[in-house]
Amino acid sequence: MPSRGIRIPALLPDPGLGPMVRPVTLVTGFSAASHATAFRLWAMPGFLPGADGPGIHISRPDTMAIPRRSGIVGHVGQFFPDEITTFEGTLLTSRVRTWLDISRRMSIDELTVVADHLIRCPRPELEGRSEAYATLEDLAEMLDRHKGTPGIRKARLALEQARVGADSAPETRLRLALARAGLPEALLNLPTELRDGVVRQPDLSYPDYLVAAEYDGEGHSEAGQVARDIAREEDFSQAGWLLVRLSKRHLTADARSAVAKVRAALLDHGWSPAH
């Protein structure tokens, strides 16, 4: 009995978050999963403090009483019709509204990670969709709708930092660290023809200096991927480019190691901090 009016058979295996949230949205009228719970249901990237903590976050219109029941973190607010949707049978706040709701607890950079995730162009062959979850204009409109909402100042700063093109949270964090260190702004996942018939798409690139940077995640330790990475590096080298390969360890300590490697590559290829 996770909450009043809800029963779950004791012998059932862990059903996951969605089936636990759905009954809560049904037993209390005009209720939708929101905040940290919607963040998890949408599988958003970024670090949200307390996202895995106990309690299901539920929101209702501010014309109604705040949800109060065991195991529930209640919220009330103003909602436009397109800010509530359904995902796998569960009523919850839209991705863009969820981004605004979590802004109070997230850092500006982590809000930027989520914004980049929402506006990135998907790869249809891998993801089964061809449209971004949102546009920069969608995010800006959400902020204009809810002026004065707690956290909105951080969300506005995150929106200024957001860029279309980052394919992952580490790529966004790397981009922000490089820009903060005074390096030129990189192009993101830009198809680059290195020679006839050979096109590569580096995570970040500086075409003016023939420098590119790639973030190698955990999958890059597999034998097949290692061979592909070597071939990729050879393609860049033969075209006169310098490819900087980075991993998780380079992003620790404010990505100082990553910044140093990319800075050295840019300096080696003619960049000057005075430019």
CATH class of 169-268: alpha beta
> Quick one: pLDDT at residue 27?
84
CB 78 within 8 A of CB 146: yes
Q: pLDDT over 90 for what percent of the chain?
A: 77
CA distance 103 to 100: 5
| pTM, two decimal places | 0.91
Angular region, 148: left φ>0, alpha ψ -120 to 50, beta rest: left
pLDDT per position as a tens digit, 177-194 = 999 999 999 999 999 999
- Ordered by start, the domain boundaries in the chain are 17-161, 169-268
CA distance 193 to 104: 43
CB atoms within 10 A of CB 188: 20
> Quick one: pLDDT at residue 191?
95
CA distances from 81 to 227, 230, 252 (A): 50, 51, 41
CA distance 4 to 70: 7
> Quick one: pLDDT at residue 228?
86
> Quick one: pLDDT at residue 28?
83
> Quick one: pLDDT at residue 52?
87
pLDDT per position as a tens digit, 57-78 = 999 999 999 988 888 999 999 9
CB 132 within 8 A of CB 120: yes
Does the pLDDT of residue 274 top 80, yes or no? no
CB 168 within 8 A of CB 188: no
Contacts of 47 (CB under 8 A, 6+ apart): 106, 107, 110
> Quick one: pLDDT at residue 223?
61
pLDDT per position as a tens digit, 93-152 = 999 999 999 999 999 999 999 999 999 999 899 888 999 999 999 999 999 999 999 999
* Dihedral of alpha carbons 43, 52, 48, 189, sign: negative
Does the pLDDT of residue 275 top 70, yes or no? no
Mean pLDDT of the chain: 92
